[in-house]
Chains A and B, each alone.
Chain A
């Protein structure tokens, strides 16, 4: 196990360094093609060369390699990595420490993801299990139709509708009925509110959860179905165990194994969804940070955030794999 973890971590470090370099290269290429981003600082007023130069120096964008398209800018890369090794992630175009921006954004995004995961685990898995247990009956059809529709409605469209319907229409009704500070009013908000940071994230988090819930539900259902049909469940029944025990102890536990893996991957997809979600709800999380960074060509921000995302993604998957071994004793990582 220990050796396996070390091997995986080494692989992750290798992957991460390639990802980092690719990001660096792509961002440099974007600057080489699109022009130096510091130009935007001055609006469309004429800027003296020296002013431009001073600003570029300030943001470490004065390397001449940024002028020749295709240059990998090795120097900049090694400088940045050296800086990173001291846990210094540089500053963004507003001279704000990127480390601080990320530190502020992480709890927000994590909150969303926690809610999303809870939605998947609670609603997704439950719906899948219920459908499997009632295969061919009304609940099963309901769940299957429901998941089909959530698959067919693009995420951003759903988010728009959720924002308008739950945040505005229903939310306003609650606010009229119970006042603006009431629990329901705070939950049904159309945008993130710094006053109620957790409550205003509940609906967006659920909406993001609905984004990937179909996969979880369907997997839970097929996995349950497979196990319900399995020999060991038949054995459990032959042992005269109660239905609830057969379902929960002997079927659900086994069925969760593949679901856990998929939740790991789905969280990665949700990161993409969070770019749309955070933009729409004005949530100061990692997705918005990255997207705004890309829009302004703020290299340092983009590289830091995406690298973080991929670290989180890889670590999540490692944890999922290890958890897999806990859930399924047949798996031994050597």
Chain B
């Protein structure tokens, strides 16, 4: 399947040996009334085929902006990509023409959004919105497109798909809507799927179902999957590795088990403490004191310093770089050694 695509005329220069997605030093700025806000301030990560990367962080930490920058759907202006590369099999998506970027979307990279109710167009039937992809990108006839759409709905396990295909998004339940979103993202067999908080708006039980569905499909199709979330708990079961973002930077990067076991950044550690856990029942949940920095005015030094127990003078002057702290893992903290070892 992948081989066929490698000959597609959209990206003839693909390098099959390069990682599926390699984001290098991505920087995104927003021009606002109060000045320039650095939403993404040097993001680095890679995703390989069949791999699941979770990007975790508070809202405003730059995860969604990163994903939209990869998709090429950031509104410019006010946004501006100030630097970095987004290499898709070695091709920098940022340098492509608008038209080529558009054709990469959905064909190679697809996205599932957070709130499916608002992410689906309320005035068209679900069938229309699915079939549209086949008709516009594949030039299929109405009937063919409908047939393909039905198959997709079956794939994402929507019961009575034949009837529901003619219904409108508001007639679906939250979970079913998210399945529709997923079906839409999968329609053109993308190599990379970005799921931006796909389960936030859902009930806990439904959350699990959707995550399972994503995991299954990913395994079956050997796609790369980027899961964006603010909830570490959600990704524990499905992610292979995790990148933690804070104030526009990746502050820690690690395989999922390592990260849960021994966080190397005080922020990760605090995040983990704020997850309710079955095994620590009765224990008080921790709250991270203070507020994340204002993006138009990031203080010098470590952005987390103001909220950090470990912070020393050096943290307020020098920006810690993302450095390898152990095999396959990196952290951006002057005191990562102390953190990883506990106290």
Contact = CB atoms under 8 A, between A and B. Distances in A.
Interface of A: 136, 230-232, 234-243, 245, 250, 253-254, 257, 327-330
B60 to A, nearest CB: 18
B210 interface: no
B151 interface: no
Contacts of A232: 118-122
Contacts of A328: 122-123
B184 interface: yes
B184 A239 contact: yes
B103 A240 contact: yes
A330 B125 CA distance: 11
Tell me if B's interface is mostly helix, strand, loop or mixed.
helix
B172 to A, nearest CB: 12
B340 interface: no
Contact of B71 (A231, A238, A257): A238
Given A136-B77, A232-B118, A329-B168, A238 B123 contact: no
B24 interface: no
A235 B120 contact: yes
Nearest to A250: B121
A234 to B, nearest CB: 6
Of A231, A232, A237, A240, chain B has the most CB atoms within 10 Å of the CB of A240
Nearest to A327: B123
Q: How large is the interface on B (under 10, 10 to 19, 20 to 34, 35 or more residues)?
A: 20 to 34
A241 B136 contact: yes
A238 B192 CA distance: 13
B295 interface: no
9 contacts: A136-B77, A235-B121, A236-B121, A238-B110, A245-B136, A254-B122, A254-B123, A328-B123, A330-B123
B102 A230 contact: no
A242 B137 CA distance: 10
Of B122, B123, B170, chain A has the most CB atoms within 10 Å of the CB of B123
Contacts of B73: 234, 237-238
Contact of A329 (B111, B119, B123): B123
A181 to B, nearest CB: 48
Contacts of A237: 71, 73, 105
Contacts of A243: 102
B119 A234 contact: yes
A102 to B, nearest CB: 39
Contacts of A254: 121-123
Contact of B111 (A230, A238, A250, A257): A238
B16 to A, nearest CB: 22
B52 to A, nearest CB: 19
Contacts of A234: 68, 73, 113, 119
Nearest to A328: B123
Contact of A235 (B104, B119, B123, B137): B119
Contacts of A329: 122-123, 168, 170
A231 B119 contact: yes
Interface string B156-185: 000000000000101000000000010010
Given A238-B73, A330-B123, 7 more contacts: A232-B122, A235-B184, A240-B105, A245-B136, A328-B123, A329-B122, A329-B168
Contact of B105 (A231, A239, A327): A239
Nearest to B170: A330
B39 to A, nearest CB: 16
A231 B188 CA distance: 20
Interface string B84-107: 000000000000000000111111
B115 interface: yes
B133 interface: yes
A200 to B, nearest CB: 40
B323 interface: no
Contacts of B107: 240
Contacts of B137: 240
Nearest to A242: B102
A98 to B, nearest CB: 44
A239 B122 contact: no
Contacts of A230: 118
A136 B71 CA distance: 24
Interface in B112-154: 113, 115, 118-123, 132-133, 136-137
Contacts of B77: 136
Contacts of B119: 231-232, 234-235
Contacts of B181: 235
A110 B110 CA distance: 50
A217 B269 CA distance: 53
B113 A231 contact: yes
Interface string B258-284: 000000000000000000000000000
Contacts of B123: 253-254, 257, 327-330
Contacts of A257: 123
A240 B104 CA distance: 7
A306 B123 CA distance: 37
Nearest to B78: A136
Of B68, B118, B121, B184, chain A has the most CB atoms within 10 Å of the CB of B121
A231 B168 contact: no
A2 B113 CA distance: 38
A238 B108 CA distance: 11
